[in-house]
Structure 1
Amino acid sequence: MTTPPRLAPLLDQFDFARERLVGRMAGPVMDSGDGTDTKVDAMTDEEYLWEPVPDCWSVRRRVDGPGPRATLLAGTGDWGRDAASYPHPWPPPFTTIAWRLSHLSEMLTLRADHTAGTHTLTRDDHPVAGDTAAALTAFAAGAEAWRKALLNADDTALDTTGYCTYPHGSDPEEPFLDIIWWVNQELLHHGAEIALLRDLYRARHR
């Protein structure tokens, strides 16, 4: 199917942001932003779980229970991600790389399913990764699933309100094109946060 002209630049933006973030986390090089490669060390498990301030939200072994101000561990498997029912704690807890990457992976996977899949997946179905390798694999799978779902969208789908039925956002009330834009900004801003946390981790003993 031919990609609708309105979708093409958003796909390009998504691809660039995804590839840059993966390079920033996995190395050995990343795009510096001007097309040149910058050397970067692969993220370690210690860094993935690093809590730079007290009372962070993160991913935790389920047997250890939720972290400070969290009331539950979202997801499935031996690990879960700190979460709370509404109303959320205020001010918002500071979140680790692990938390932010898990959030991105879950969002991409569930939105893909609620766009071009079974329309049934919930947060309780999404595995939470307890180490860097598993987290990178989950992110890659979620990003690929979301991109594949986008390739099935024609111009009519882009204008359809509720084309994505993802239950944890405004998707049922928004045209699909607006949801695609929103997912891109989620990837861009959480990717930037992860990059900054990597910089802080590297510089913490200087």
Structure 2
Amino acid sequence: MAIRRNDRLTEQLDRHWRHQLRGRLEGLTGEEYFWEPVADAHIIVGVFGMRVANHFGGPKTDYESFAYAGSAQGALEQLDAAYAAWRDGVRGLGEEGLARPCGPAEDEFAESPTAEPVLHINREAIHHGAEIALLRDLYAHR
């Protein structure tokens, strides 16, 4: 049986999303959402949004023009939408899509097969998701 790489790449992140990260965000309050012990968390825009725009035809997304939600619930909706667009885009690539060079939108990965930035985004999402979970723990125990 042939292994479909895009199924594996999608499942890697989706398993983390469903079983580790997303549940940890339930009950996020506005006070927590606006608490900023450090600046510049970028999972919605820089990890998912810009990549969806560059590779899957999503709306142009950048740090200067993105309208961050004014509530915790709105932010979770933005995060869910950005994640779903990324996941669905990766699922739709197929083996040929994963093998083609990803192009200049990914600077250091421009000549690399698209599978390389997909792996990078998976790592980034897992990394930043863990940071968010830690911040929630720190907030609760401050």
Whether these two folds match at TM > 0.5 is: yes
TM-score, L = length of structure 2: 0.84
Larger Rg: 1
Do structure 1's residue 199 and structure 2's residue 137 form an aligned pair? yes
Describe how 1:1-206 pairs up with structure 2 within 5 A. Answer: 5-19=4-18, 20-26=20-26, 42-52=27-37, 56-57=38-39, 99-100=40-41, 103-106=42-45, 107-117=47-57, 121-123=60-62, 124-162=64-102, 166=105, 169-204=107-142
1:177 and 1:152 map into 2 onto residues whose CA distance is 13
Alpha-carbon distance, 1:171 to partner: 4.1
- Report how far residue 143 of structure 1 moved: 0.7
C-alpha separation in 1, matches of 2:117 and 2:3: 16
Tell me by how many angstroms 1:172 deviates.
Answer: 2.5
Counterpart residue type for residue 201 of structure 1:
Y
Q: Answer with 5-14 or 135-144: which moved more.
A: 5-14
State whether residues 47 and 201 of structure 1, in contact with CA within 8 Å, keep that contact through their aligned partners in structure 2: yes
Aligned partners of 2:99 and 2:115 also within 8 Å = yes
Runs of 4+ in 1 over 3 A off after TM superposition: none
The one-letter amino acid of 1:187's match is: A
Q: What is the CA–CA distance in structure 2 between the aligned matches of 1:195 and 1:48, rounded to whole Å? A: 12
Relative to its length, the structure with more helix (as a share) is 2
Give the TM-score taking structure 1 as reference length: 0.60
Closer, same or farther in 2 for the Cα pair 1:125/1:166, shift >3 Å? farther
| Aligned alpha-carbon RMSD (Å) | 2.2
Q: Mind listing any 5+ residue stretches in structure 1 that lack a counterpart?
A: 27-41, 58-98
Q: What runs of 5+ residues in structure 2 fail to find an aligned partner?
A: none
Q: Which has the higher contact order (CA 8 A, sep 6+)?
A: 2
Q: Percent identity?
A: 33
Indicate the larger mover: 145-154 or 177-186.
145-154
CA distance in 2 between partners of 1:111 and 1:23 (Å): 24
* Partner secondary structure for residue 175 of structure 1: coil
Higher strand share: 1
* Number of residue pairs matched by the alignment: 138
When residues 51 and 154 of structure 1 are mapped into structure 2, their CA distance, relative to the original with a 3 A threshold, is: closer
